[in-house]
Amino acid sequence: MTTTQTLKGSELNVVQWQVTGHSQPLSTSYAHHMIDQIADIGTAKLVIRGDNPMQRKDLFSLIDYATSRNISVSLATEGIAKMSVRAAANARDAGISRWAIRMNTWPDLLDTLSAFRISELRPFRAGYLLADHDVPIEIDTTVTNANLKHLEQIADIAQYVFGAKTWNVEMGTPSKRVMSRQMVTADQAEHLLRWMYKETSMRTIQITTTDAPFYERIMLQERSKQSHDSSMPDADREITDDQLVTIGAQKIPHDGNGEIFISHQGDVYPSEHLPLIVGNIRKQELGDVYEHSPLLQELRTGDRLHGKCSECVFRNVCGGSRARAFAMTGDYMAADPLCAYVPTLTNSPVSPIQ
Ligand code: SF4
């Protein structure tokens, strides 16, 4: 059995696995071996993603196997044209914990129905089939400057139309999904995440975020502001370890720091949008790659960050998106270009709580 490194808060919690229809996918036996390694490490969550993961004939038997090994499995499909009654039933029987449907735009339902735009109706058909089979639904939304003003409506659709358990907001890294000119600004991201924090207490739907590790900084600051407990810190001024225990500071898995990405061919990357290969699970044990890769070790070391992230008290619970830093500056240790925070102190960094 392989064990992961024991850096505080850096255990491997989330494995993203890309499934495509491309050539040379992992064989069923390699996929079983991968799942065994994930289970042995103790990783809690496997996210299977791709344009149409159902192209793998063994998909639901692999999900069934992973859930039998106490791994929570989510399915994130970009295309849902192939959604069927059978797929929804298979997902339910395999014990899937979430099926994520992408919704990046605010669909005007009346316009869509009157114009009978099939592509815009597909998510609703998929949602109906999943709900009819008691498959928990997640709605994924990648934020752009085009949909920023419609996010509240998208959250409403996720909660009230789909009855989704989770609305996951992806902050975006320049990639095939989001072009640089579509990215929101740092101020817009800050405003959005503070709005999301407030919405979490008013909605029944769980609101999560990816590609925004500085959401942890925002949550700490907001909790600190709202607390009337004098033992709670002012996160902008001074933070002690005792106060952090009180607050419950945790790390959001990202970029080789609690999360890794495995391609359809078994290549291991720190994350989906950080295109630097650190190993391959056909040749290496996943736990060894995660623990010993020099690049992953560097990414997990807050003191090796550059720019303002290197001076930030939140660097060990946040550290910024390494994928976005690489995509927008060419330096994977640079400051996260989407974080609006300006560090004012050179205190000891905050440590995540175990
Ligand atoms: S400056 Fe860097 S480490 Fe600090 S909160 Fe922003 S992204 Fe995180």
Query: Pocket around ligand 1: residues whose beta carbon is below 6 Å from it?
Result: 214, 217, 308-309, 312, 314-315, 318-320, 335-336, 339, 341, 343
The gap between the terminal CA atoms of the chain, to the nearest Å, is 22
d(Cα 178, Cα 7) in Å, to the nearest integer? Answer: 33
- CA-closest residue to ligand 1 atom 5: 214
Distance 76 CA to ligand 1 centre (A): 28
**Residue 317 neighbours by CB under 8 Å, 6+ apart:** 9, 216, 217, 220, 249, 250, 251, 350, 351, 352
d(Cα 121, Cα 126) in Å, to the nearest integer? Answer: 9
DSSP string, 197-224: HHHHTT-SSEEEEES-TTHHHHHHHHHH
Residue 243: predicted pLDDT = 59
Mutate to test the pocket of ligand 1, among 304, 315, 346, 351 (most ligand atoms within 8 A of CB): 315
- CA-closest residue to ligand 1 atom 2: 309
d(Cα 240, Cα 347) in Å, to the nearest integer? Answer: 10
Mutate to test the pocket of ligand 1, among 190, 305, 332, 341 (most ligand atoms within 8 A of CB): 341
What CA dihedral angle connects 294, 297, 302 and 305, to 10 degrees?
20
Counting as low any pLDDT under 50, the low residues of the chain are: 1-8, 238, 354
CA distances from 27 to 31, 34, 51, 76, 270 (A): 6, 10, 19, 20, 22
Residue 200: predicted pLDDT = 94
Distance 298 CA to ligand 1 centre (A): 16
Indicate which atom in ligand 1 lies nearest the CA of residue 213: 8
Residue 46: predicted pLDDT = 97
Mutate to test the pocket of ligand 1, among 217, 299, 322 (most ligand atoms within 8 A of CB): 217
CA nearest to 2, candidates 328, 284, 277, 270: 284
pTM: 0.86
Residue 226: predicted pLDDT = 76
Residue 139 · residue 169 · CB < 8 Å? no
Residue 291 · residue 41 · CB < 8 Å? no
What region does 300 belong to: left with phi over 0, alpha with psi -120 to 50, or beta? Answer: alpha
Distance 310 CA to ligand 1 centre (A): 8
Residue 54: predicted pLDDT = 84
**Residue 209 neighbours by CB under 8 Å, 6+ apart:** 168, 169, 170, 171, 193, 196, 215, 252
pLDDT digits (tens, 9 = 90+) for 139-185: 999 999 999 999 999 999 999 999 999 999 999 888 766 677 889 99
Indicate which atom in ligand 1 lies nearest the CA of residue 342: 1
Distance 302 CA to ligand 1 centre (A): 10
Report residue 83 as tokens.
């959604």
Residue 344: predicted pLDDT = 72
- CA-closest residue to ligand 1 atom 7: 320
